[in-house]
Amino acid sequence: MTAAPLSAWGNLGWPPAAEVRRCGERGAPLPAVAGTLLPYGNGRSYGDSCLNPGGTLLAMRGLDRFIAFDAGSGVLACEAGVLLADILAVFVPRGWFLPVTPGTRYVTVGGAIANDVHGKNHHAAGGFGAQVRSFELLRSDGSRRRCSPTDNADWFAATVGGLGLTGVITQAELQLRRIGGNAIAVHNRRFTGLDEFFAANAEAEHAHEYAVAWIDCLAKTPRGVLMGGNHVDAELPAPRGERNVPLTPPFSCINGLSLRAFNAAYYGKPWPTAQTVHYQPYFYPLDAIGHWNRIYGPRGFYQYQSVVPPAAAREATGEMLAAIAASGQGSFLAVLKNFGARPSPGLLSFPMPGTTLALDFPNHGAATLALFERLDAIVRAAGGRLYPAKDARMPAAMFRAGYPRLAEFTSYVDPKFSSGFWRRVMENN
Ligand SMILES: Cc1cc2nc3c(=O)[nH]c(=O)nc-3n(C[C@H](O)[C@H](O)[C@H](O)COP(=O)(O)OP(=O)(O)OC[C@H]3O[C@@H](n4cnc5c(N)ncnc54)[C@H](O)[C@@H]3O)c2cc1C
């Protein structure tokens, strides 16, 4: 038993867990503890959905073994604490890739399932849950269930996107996909204004398996760069080693001046229309700088990620960007993309058809929270929702409005399990 400072990516100063228990054997029972439990993967969630202040965190990284791989079907069985980075390191050289991957490869398989994470190819492939063939769910009563879309399908639906609240995923079977090399053919296109974005994005989704836009949220007229990508049969050398932000500076390095300068320079840099790159910089540009979250200083930062349905997408996205630009707050990490129509398998999965906007905000206290309230009103009026994996402050009413299957989900929550997020949105209202 050790107390370790397990934190969330936003560094917003949450109170710590009372204790941390490390899971190392997938056959071992859950520890008997007096309070509540929550599995903790690699802490790449931004807010308190991966934290359990005052309770126990079950650190899952010790379950880090590959179990079996079928080279005929591409089905990989592995423990839930395996990182996506480990899967890629072993299987890309063998010609296999993850069918869905988020914007960092430093997440665990268990964490990716529990948030039903999405990637740049949601329009074509759906979310992470769609590539999960099965997993084992261990509950605090000692029961173990094999869950798949056909086996204990109700538990499968509750646990994919289930925020770690239905029990511990000990191991999973993932469907990998064939690739002919480690390279991605990228097509870059600058756009100005949302009409141009939506038109260009429709073309990009047709021509490319992956499509995502970086957007300058501080510009008066939204502008950005749309990056379409496809796997190609080519091998490129891996990029040189990662850099690291060695410590948290005593103040945030992010302010209006540095943001505007960065965004203008980034937008203005020479973007080749077509280029072939190693998969890492295309999928994981931020992974090149270890602990980049430290640049926000000791007060930390928020991410605000919403999705709004297609009919309201143009107007609501425009309103949100106008509110952000007017506030003078915002980030260089603004991402805009469309989710496709493939239904998410989870009762609480975040993706739904529509347009998702994700932005990081330095924590300026009341001013930042006031901006979020304005954005909440736009998202709610549009019939949208916020992403719990990125959230650190959504009001209970916002969560309830966004997740119509919440009542159904609650009957699957393990009575011993809870999180800071869960108490915030379920108890404090
Ligand atoms: C730079 C960056 C880019 C990102 N890009 C994307 C993106 O493009 N798309 C996207 O969807 N997300 C994205 N994310 C968010 C990230 O993918 C998710 O928060 C992911 O779930 C984190 O996984 P983790 O292993 O770090 O788990 P944690 O953050 O530690 O935990 C996440 C959830 O999983 C639960 N959990 C962990 N392990 C288990 C287990 N074994 N059994 C049951 N429950 C478990 C936890 O209780 C918690 O609810 C990004 C995050 C960062 C920092």
d(CA 40, CA 24): 13
DSSP single-letter state for residue 240: P
Q: Is 3.10.580.10 the CATH classification of the domain at 66-179?
A: no
Quick check: CB of 389 below 6 Å from ligand 1? Answer: yes
**CATH number among 3.40.462.10, 3.90.1150.10, 3.20.20.70, 2.60.120.380, domain 183-395:** 3.40.462.10
Element (H, E) at 317: helix 310-327
Give the per-residue pLDDT at 91: 98
108 lines ligand 1 (CB under 6 A): yes
168 lines ligand 1 (CB under 6 A): yes
What's the confidence (pLDDT) of residue 428?
56
Helices (H), 65-117: 84-91, 109-114
Q: Is 326 helix (H, G, I), strand (E, B) or coil?
A: helix
Domain ranges of the chain: 66-179, 183-395
- Is the CB of residue 135 below 6 angstroms from any atom belonging to ligand 1? no
Does the C-beta of 316 come closer than 6 Å to ligand 1? no
Q: Which of 26, 36, 45 to mutate to test the pocket of ligand 1 (most atoms within 8 A of CB)?
A: 45
- The pLDDT value given to residue 3: 47
Query: Which of 45, 56, 43, 46 lies closest to 16, judged by CA?
Result: 56
Distance 45 CA to ligand 1 centre (A): 5
For ligand 1, whether the C-beta of 349 sits within 6 Å is no
Q: Which ranges of the chain have pLDDT less than 70? A: 1-4, 253, 428-429
Residue 169: CB within 6 Å of ligand 1?
Answer: yes
Q: Which atom of ligand 1 is nearest to the CA of 45?
A: 19
Q: Whose CA is nearest to atom 51 of ligand 1?
A: 44
Four-CA torsion 118, 86, 282, 115, nearest 10 degrees: 10
d(CA 14, CA 239): 35
The per-residue pLDDT for 247 is 74
Query: Strand pairing partners for 20?
Result: 2, 57
4 CB-near residues (< 8 Å, 6+ apart): 20, 59
181 contacts 233 by C-beta, under 8 angstroms: yes
**What 3-state DSSP class applies to 136?**
strand
The full 3-state SS of 136-162, as one line of letters, equals EEECCCCCEEEECCCCCHHHHHHHCCC
> How many CB atoms are located within 10 Å of the residue 171 CB?
21
Q: How far is the CA of 214 from the centre of ligand 1 (A)?
A: 21
Identify whether the C-beta of residue 6 lies closer than 8 Å to the C-beta of residue 14.
no
Mutating to test ligand 1, I would choose from 86, 108, 165, 337 the residue with most ligand atoms within 8 A of its C-beta, which is 108
Q: What pLDDT is attached to residue 194?
A: 96
